[in-house]
Each structure stands twice: as C-alpha cells, then as structure tokens.
C-alpha cells in the first residue's frame, strides 16, 4: 500500500515537473521573440509627417547654402523640396532668386512667374520680377509690373517714377510728379527733376527760334537760353577759364541742370582744384536723369579723388562708371 502511494506521488511529481518545464519553455520562447524579433517587425510610420520634416530640412539647407553664395547647391536642395511639394510658391520664389544670382535670368523669370501664378498679389515676388526685367533691360515690362505694385502699395510710386525717368517717359513722369506734388509727397530730388524737364522744354523752344548769324556769346548776352549756354560750354571744353565763367553763370540761371555742374567740375579738375571740383560734382549729380551723363560724372569724380590722393574712392567711382557702362 505504501509502495503504491509512493509510486502515485512520483507520477504526480513528474506531471507537475513536465507542466512547469513546458511553461518555462513557452515563456523563454515568447520573451526571445519579443527581444530578438523587434528589429524585424515593421513599424508603421506617418508618411506625411516624414515628408514634412524632409521638406523643412531641404528648405533650410537651401537657405543656408544661398547665404554663403553656394547657389547651385541651394538649387539642388530646392529641387528636393519641389519633388516633395510640387506646387509650393516659396520654393519657386527661392529657385528664382538663386537662378537670378547665377545670372540665369530666363530660369529666374520662369520660376517667379510660377510663384506669382499661385500668389499673384505678393509684393516681394512682384518686386523680384521687376529686378529681373531690369537686368534684361526690359523697361516696358518692368514698368507694367511696377504699376501693379503701385495699386497694392502707393509708396511704390517713387520707384515707378524712377523707371519713367530712366526709360525717358517724360510725359508720364511729369504726370506722376504732379499727382505726388498735389499730395505733398514729392521729394526735393524729384522736384528738381521736374524743373529739369521744364528747362529742357524751354531749351527746345529756344533752339527753334535761335538765329544763326550771331556768335553764341552775343546771342547768350541777350537771350539767356540753356540751349545757347550748352553750346558755349561744349565749344569751350578745352578752355577751363571760359568753362568756369559760363558754368558759374549757368548754375545761377539753371540750378537744376546737371550739365553746368559737370562742365564746372571738369574745368576745376583741369586746373587741379580737386576739392572744389569734387564739391561741385557732388552737388550736380543729384540732378542727373540720363545714365550716360551719370557715367561722365562718375569719371570726373574719380579724377577729383585721384587728385586728392583718395585712391580707394577713385577706384570705387571707376568701377561705378564701368558697371553703368554695361
């Protein structure tokens, strides 16, 4: 009987042992799967969020590269942005700016037009388009875009006026000047330009009435016309004393005419009176409208600085004259 009980207990213990072994084995396998199987179990990611983060990274890379002049690398990063978000106005705008800095104006224009198709009233984009047209010497298109800017922001009339002047649209310039004058927002510089235009008209009238039989000097004695004075100054370019005589009188009679300041400055440079020449030229350049005359002013100012021993300033104005010459 005792032997039988012992045998039964032994069997029970064996069953318990086997059960425990199975449980332990199952747990080991389960935890092993948890530990070693994590790398192979796919994690569901938010694709939209990942794209957003990648877009931001590429965009900031582009801004960083542009800031240090690496425009081509900036373009590469922006192209990556464009693949993620194909119709982003900010990306098109940045692409346009980088191509602009690379002097690739056709591509710069293409991308800014895409940007403006999305945001047609963005002032910064419109200003950038004006810059591109000016680089292409396309004043008519630049003026049309600037007119749109004026509708968005009346303060942009100042630059529109500048474009009218540069493009020699004198009638439109005078019309806009009159409007700004009535609103009491016309600067002294543009008031001088208006006077300059008026004096040019008077000169054209004088030219039509000018007799041919008398000398220019005798004609000027009785007819204080700027047209006659200009002829006298041009005739006496190689005579500093006469240039100074007539340009001094010209400044009193026609204080808004840059040509008389230019001739006086030239004469003073020829006489090696560089300090007086520089002061005269600096006063006169504010009245300049035509780009070719501005170049001549820059050259004479460079001569004045060279005579005074200011060689850095001389170099600066020589460079200015070359840039304007393009």
Give how far the C-alpha of residue 138 lies from the chain's centroid of Cα atoms, to the nearest Å: 15
Q: Residue range 235-254: average pLDDT? A: 88
Q: Residue range 34-62: average pLDDT? A: 67
Q: Residue range 316-325: average pLDDT? A: 79
* pLDDT at res. 94: 95
Q: What is the pLDDT of residues 272-298, one digit of tens each?
A: 999 999 999 998 888 777 777 888 999
- Taken as a whole, the chain contains a residue count of 326
Confidence label for 211 from pLDDT (cuts 50, 70 and 90): very low
- The reply to whether domains 51-191 and 196-325 share a CATH topology is yes
* pLDDT at res. 88: 93
| pLDDT of 72 higher than 90 | yes
Q: Residue range 218-222: average pLDDT? A: 84
Contacts of 6 by beta carbon, 8 Å cutoff, 6+ apart? none
Give dist(CA 54, CA 50) in Å, integer.
Answer: 6
Any idea what DSSP says for residue 211? -
Indicate the average pLDDT of the chain: 80
* CA geometry: angle 249, 252, 254, nearest 5 deg: 100
CATH code for residues 196-325 = 1.25.40.10
Q: Where are the domains of the chain?
A: 51-191, 196-325
Give dist(CA 295, CA 285) in Å, integer.
Answer: 10
In CATH terms, the fold of domain 51-191 is 1.25.40
| pLDDT of 168 higher than 60 | yes
> What would the two tokens of residue 103 be?
């002097």
* pLDDT at res. 201: 55
Entry pTM: 0.53
Q: Which residue has the higher pLDDT, 73 or 185?
A: 73
Q: Residue range 155-174: average pLDDT? A: 84
| pLDDT of 213 higher than 50 | no
CB 230 within 8 A of CB 259: yes
Give how far the C-alpha of residue 126 lies from the chain's centroid of Cα atoms, to the nearest Å: 11
Confidence label for 200 from pLDDT (cuts 50, 70 and 90): low
């Amino acid at each position: 009987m005792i032997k039988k009980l012992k045998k039964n207990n032994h069997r029970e213990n064996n069953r318990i042992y086997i059960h425990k072994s199975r449980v332990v084995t199952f747990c080991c396998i389960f935890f092993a799967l948890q530990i070693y199987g994590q790398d192979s179990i796919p994690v569901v990611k938010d694709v939209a969020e990942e794209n957003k983060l990648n877009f931001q990274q590429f965009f900031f890379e582009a801004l960083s590269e542009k800031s240090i002049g690496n425009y081509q690398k900036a373009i590469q990063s922006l192209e990556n942005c464009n693949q993620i978000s194909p119709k982003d106005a900010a990306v098109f705008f940045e692409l346009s700016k980088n191509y602009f800095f690379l002097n690739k104006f056709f591509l710069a224009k293409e991308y800014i037009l895409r940007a403006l198709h999305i945001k047609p009233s963005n002032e910064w984009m419109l200003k950038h388009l004006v810059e591109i047209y000016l680089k292409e010497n396309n004043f008519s298109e630049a003026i049309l875009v600037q007119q749109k800017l004026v509708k968005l922001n009346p303060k942009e009339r100042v630059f529109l006026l500048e474009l009218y002047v540069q493009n020699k649209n004198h009638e439109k310039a005078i019309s806009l000047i009159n409007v700004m004058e009535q609103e009491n927002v016309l600067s002294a510089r543009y008031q001088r330009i208006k006077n300059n235009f008026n004096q040019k008209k008077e000169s054209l009238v004088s030219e039509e009435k000018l007799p041919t039989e008398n000398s220019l000097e005798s004609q000027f004695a009785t007819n204080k016309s700027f047209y006659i004075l200009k002829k006298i100054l041009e005739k006496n370019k190689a005579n500093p004393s006469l240039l100074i005589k007539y340009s001094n009188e010209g400044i009193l009679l026609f204080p808004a005419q840059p040509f008389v300041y230019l001739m006086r400055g030239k004469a003073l440079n020829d006489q090696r009176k560089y300090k007086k020449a520089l002061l005269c030229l600096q006063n006169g350049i504010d009245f300049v409208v035509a780009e070719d005359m501005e170049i001549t002013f820059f050259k004479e100012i460079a001569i004045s600085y060279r005579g005074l021993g200011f060689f850095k300033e001389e170099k600066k104005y020589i460079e200015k004259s070359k840039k304007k010459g393009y």
